[in-house]
Amino acid sequence: MSFLSLTFVFLLSSLSLAVADSSCADTSSLVPFLRAFSSSLQDHFYTTNVSEMNNVALSGGVYTFEGEAAFLWSTPQPGTIPLFRLYNQNSTDHFYTISSDELPEMNTLGWTNDTAPNQTAGYVYPYSTCGAAPLYRLFDPSAMDHFYTMDFVEAQNAVEAGYQDQGIAGYAMLPSANGSVVKESAVPYLLPSTVTASPESQETATSSSSCADNANVVPLLRAYAGTGQDHLYTTNSSEMNAALLNTYSFEGDAAFVWSTQEASTVPLYRLFNQNVNDHFYTIDANESNVALSLGYAFDTDSHIAGYLYPYSICGASPIYRLYSSSSTDHFYTMSQTESASSAPGYIVEGIVGFALLPSADGQAQTITASASPLLLPVSLDPSPVSILSTFVAAFSTTININPTSTSSSSESNAGSKAIARGPLFFLAILMSGSIAVWMAS
């Protein structure tokens, strides 16, 4: 068996595809992506075909069923593209990719189109959108085995066991809250639909041909005022120190962003409502205008807290946005666990943007002096050919911040923080994709 080395060539293509549909894929049409493993063949096998799994893979006793690894679609849906399926008979390895550029490269290395209909295992999203999460791809060069999982911890354990982290194969629906496989009767775990940048802010991101310089990232510091019930985020350490002298308590480095605009990044606008004591952050210029009409004002001279990616590229991960109507507080975290188990009353509104992780699980790093960004592999996004031939772009997301009224309480300031808000509408547009190309060593 020969070793393969993965060389990433990052190209942000200047594709400008029209919005052809206004909805996400139909989640009622999701089917489980079944996973099995053969210890004798050293091969992971995935299929949406129950009969193929039972009558072919499992019937001979060579493969062992491991569970439902993800949820995807068996037929094309709005916004989805094919997840191609190939097989190498010499190395007994099943391989799955959304990049048509990889297909000829893999063909020259011995992989051929498998027996699945249209050579596809199913259909997935090429970006983090519509509540989809990453399907991680790994490769063991000694066993010549490709392995796919939505469980970040399982992926990290595989790396420690000798697998190479090859990035993100695509975006599908989780089989469970943490992405772990479910043995049977799994149901899709749907994340909130992504809050994405407006067309105006996207224009600056699509003109670049490279990732931002990771050496220039700075921590986005996080603090919380229990008496005022407000989360504050800033890259300015002097401002943070001043806040800590008042009612705020430092909670750590929430993310790593850029203090000046770099390739492919967009502004993270920062606003504050003095009447309800709430800091608000968004990459959507349209949403910031709506917030201004609701009593918010830009909180800094630049109007900007920092710069981040408007979509999942260059190893960036999502910053989740939550909101509590009772305390009128917006809360931002890169920890999926923290977002799912946040204080009572908070509702996850979506993803505000994509930044570099402060830790492996996204938890805020409290030891600022030694904090450094955790760099994930860059996504394996589809080639222009596969996008143009199959991609039906676009979805719309509506975030409702319902009118609220809270009564006064002697224990808190919730009573003084009532605000009436209307629904905010966001239109997501197609973004430029990064291209990953296989090269043989």
The pLDDT tens digits for 197-227 are 444 444 344 333 468 888 899 999 999 998 8
Listed range (11-15, 115-119, 326-330) with the worst mean pLDDT: 11-15
Listed range (137-151, 297-311, 334-348) with the worst mean pLDDT: 334-348
Cβ distance 137 to 146 under 8 Å?
Answer: yes
The residue assigned the tokens 């790593």 is: 256
Note the residue count of the chain. 441
Q: In terms of Cα–Cα distance, which of 13, 123, 125 is closest to 385?
A: 13
For residue 222, with 0-12 CB atoms within 10 Å meaning exposed, 13-18 middle and 19 or more buried, which class applies?
A: buried
Is the predicted pLDDT of residue 408 greater than 60, yes or no? Answer: no
Is the predicted pLDDT of residue 386 greater than 90, yes or no? Answer: no
The pLDDT tens digits for 272-292 are 999 999 999 999 888 899 999
Average pLDDT over residues 408-413: 28
Cβ distance 31 to 72 under 8 Å?
Answer: yes
Is the predicted pLDDT of residue 11 greater than 80, yes or no? Answer: no
Is the predicted pLDDT of residue 31 greater than 90, yes or no? Answer: yes
Q: What is the share, in percent, of the chain residues with pLDDT greater than 70?
A: 71
The residue assigned the tokens 């989809």 is: 132
pLDDT at 84: 94
Listed range (132-141, 238-247, 248-257, 339-348) with the worst mean pLDDT: 339-348
pLDDT at 374: 63
Higher pLDDT pick, 320 / 42: 42
Average pLDDT over residues 176-183: 85
pLDDT at 310: 80
Q: How confident is the model at residue 4 (pLDDT cuts 50, 70, 90)?
A: very low
Average pLDDT over residues 355-382: 63
Is the predicted pLDDT of residue 320 greater than 90, yes or no? Answer: no
Is the predicted pLDDT of residue 103 greater than 60, yes or no? Answer: yes
Q: d(Cα 251, Cα 234) in Å, to the nearest integer?
A: 12
Q: Which residues contact 72 (CB under 8 A, 6 or more apart)?
A: 30, 31, 33, 48, 80, 83, 121, 122, 123, 124, 172, 173
Cβ distance 392 to 424 under 8 Å?
Answer: no
Average pLDDT over residues 372-381: 55
Q: d(Cα 426, Cα 80) in Å, to the nearest integer?
A: 20
The pLDDT tens digits for 35-75 are 999 999 999 999 999 999 999 999 989 999 999 999 999 99
State the chain's mean pLDDT as an integer.
74
pLDDT at 364: 74
pLDDT at 101: 84
Higher pLDDT pick, 237 / 397: 237
- The end-to-end CA distance of the chain, in Å, is 12
Q: How confident is the model at residue 347 (pLDDT cuts 50, 70, 90)?
A: confident
pLDDT at 409: 29
Higher pLDDT pick, 311 / 112: 112
